Amino acid sequence: MKLLIFMIVGFLSLMVSIKLSGQEITSIQDSFKVSGSAGIQLTSYSSNGIQQRRKPFSYLLNGSINLSKGDFSIPLSFTYSEQERSFSQPFNQFGIAPTYKWIKAYIGYQNITWSKFSLAGHQLLGGGVELTPGKFRIGFVAGRFQRATGIDTTKVRTYLPAYKRTGFAAKIGYGTETSFIDFVYMRSKDDDSSLPTQYMDSATMVQPGKNDVLAVKTQLKIASFMNVYGEAAVSVFNRNIKALEKAPSDDWKALSNIVGAQTIATHIYFGMEAGTNFNFKGQNLSLFYKRIAPDFQSMGAYFIENDLNAYGIRHNFGFWQNKAQVSYGMSIYSDNLMNKKPVTTYRYQPNINLSLNPSQNWGVDVSWMDLYTKQKDGFVSVNDTIIMQNRNPGFTISPRVNWGNTSLYHMVVASYMNMRMVDNNAFTAAYMEYSTQIINLMYNLSLLQSQASIFVGVNHTKNITNAFTETGNGGSIGYNQTWQEGKITANGALGLQASDINKNYTINAGLNYNLKKRHNFGVNISFLNNKSDNINSQNFTEFTGVLRYTINF
């Protein structure tokens, strides 16, 4: 990996030197078109009064570059840093995805999404291919989903160990980008012998697992104004492949022929979602429904919401020659699908948004939402004193106005937000109820002929509970200046914030220089000073400096 990154950086440096020296590169440009960017960032950090929240020095090299000629393209990306290497997913990555007509290959680190219930953006180190001849949609990828890591007892922070996890995913489908049906199968399995010898004692904290997911995903354009979508999956998750084997139930014998042997730690989960969208005469109406079993999990996704039954509606439309836009909706959620929890929680979430823009010089946005939560008995009868019955109403108003000429341009933006917790349970209301108010006011003056701008902002917050009331006030002022038609940019800002128990101020400054529209050099510094009257908080200072360089192709 280090050699590969060194070769990439060397290649970029060579291109820069050739360009700067004015040598002829027409033949290279005729062969391939190069686009994208690459860069390096150096960061220095120090603190006083608290434990350091990052390393004193760090570096980061990253890039996203595409080489193309006609129907052939090679997009590549890389990331390299000194970040902690004892994680199951490394920071240092390199991947390419060359494409030729209807053929696309994957090499190195990739994040591929074929289905939200199976292969859904999880990092994969390996290779694969996607083929789209005509309306066929075929794909296959294989590699490592997770590397083996143990517990390093010499570190202040420790993380759960992880087994090496490998697997594959296959997709076959038919259709276009707007109307299609795909079938996806993914299998991933932990290597129970992959933990380093010195960490074998930590293996008892996690067990090696295996996962098979069968998913179907579709989207159909029924008419010019209507489309439907849907996705469903069955996940067979074995949380311990070393556990005792068991015979599959009669209902799942056909599935067991595909996924193989099951153990007493094997569970079968089902998840689905579906919806439809209508677009007509400048209006949009959407409906959705989803149902996902408790503990639904896929080794191809970092997170999947589960134990959920939800449905809702949303409607958007405009009027007054589209100077006014309205959006409103209602969503209803519930859990405890298998009735294994002592209570079932229901949530109702109505909301409405209004945006008025009578002219180019002024407008206002208004939004209101509420979240009503209530609970009912699950598999046991629960005492009313702990049952949740509350509301979280809130609204926001954001007016704005701007005016000016070719020399000066003014803009004022304000916002007021109010949120509350209303507890309908008399036994818990005294401890749960609160209200929050936040007011912001910002003014920006652009000096167009001088290529400069000045901004000033103030804010006020107020938090009220039955136990205390806390208020806070703050402000900021900043200046931005540009020279030589945007080649050089400097900025600086000072911020102050004070509450009943805490005071802090921040200083930020930056300088950027663009050379020949391809090279960007930048430096940023920030300083934070925090003082607190609370004995549970610390007085501290922090300084961060960043130096970076980016080349655009």
Burial classification of residue 470, based on how many CB atoms lie within 10 Å of its CB (0-12 exposed, 13-18 middle, 19 or more buried):
middle
pLDDT at residue number 9: 45
Task: Answer yes or no: are the C-beta atoms of 395 and 430 closer than 8 Å.
Answer: no
74-78, 86-90, 124-128, 265-269, range with the lowest pLDDT:
86-90
Question: Percent of the chain at pLDDT above 90?
Answer: 68
pLDDT > 80? residue 305: yes
pLDDT class of 347 with cuts at 50, 70, 90? very high
Contacts of residue 347, defined as CB under 8 A and 6 or more positions apart, other chains included, come to: 332, 333, 334, 371, 372, 373
pLDDT class of 10 with cuts at 50, 70, 90? very low
**In Å, how far are 137, 181, 521 from 177, measured between CA atoms?**
10, 10, 40
Backbone angles phi, psi at 211, to 5 degrees: -145, 130
pLDDT class of 261 with cuts at 50, 70, 90? confident
**pLDDT per residue over 278-301, tens digit each?**
998 889 999 999 999 999 999 999
pTM of the complete model beyond 0.85? no
Q: Report the distance separating Cα 190 and Cα 88, nearest Å.
A: 12
CA 357 to centroid of chain Cα atoms: 31
Work out the average pLDDT over 226-231. 97
Work out the average pLDDT over 397-413. 97
pLDDT at residue number 258: 77
Q: Report the distance separating Cα 267 and Cα 249, nearest Å.
A: 11
Task: Answer yes or no: are the C-beta atoms of 238 and 262 closer than 8 Å.
Answer: yes
Which region, left, alpha or beta, applies to residue 134 given φ > 0 means left and ψ of -120 to 50 means alpha? left
| Stronger pLDDT, 446 or 383, i.e. the higher one | 446
pLDDT > 90? residue 508: yes
Could you tell me which of 173, 255, 168 has the C-alpha nearest to residue 219?
173
Backbone angles phi, psi at 15, to 5 degrees: -65, -40
pLDDT at residue number 3: 39
Work out the average pLDDT over 131-148. 96
DSSP state of 295: T
pLDDT at residue number 90: 61
pLDDT > 90? residue 446: yes
pLDDT > 90? residue 454: yes
Tell me what the pLDDT averaged over the chain comes to: 89
pLDDT > 50? residue 27: no
Task: Answer yes or no: are the C-beta atoms of 344 and 378 closer than 8 Å.
Answer: yes
Tell me the β-bridge partners of 129. Answer: 105, 140
Work out the average pLDDT over 91-119. 91
DSSP state of 252: G
Q: Report the distance separating Cα 188 and Cα 169, nearest Å.
A: 9
| DSSP code string of 367-385 | EEE--EEEEEE-SS---GG
pLDDT class of 1 with cuts at 50, 70, 90? very low
Contacts of residue 100, defined as CB under 8 A and 6 or more positions apart, other chains included, come to: 71, 72, 73
* Torsional sign, CA 299, 304, 307, 310: negative
Sequence-ordered alpha helix ranges (H) in 231-292: 253-259
CA angle, 420 then 421 then 425, to 5°? 150
Work out the average pLDDT over 152-179. 83
| Stronger pLDDT, 80 or 349, i.e. the higher one | 349
Could you tell me which of 529, 549, 527, 547 has the C-alpha nearest to residue 538?
529
pLDDT at residue number 151: 66
Q: Report the distance separating Cα 538 and Cα 530, nearest Å.
A: 8
pLDDT at residue number 17: 46
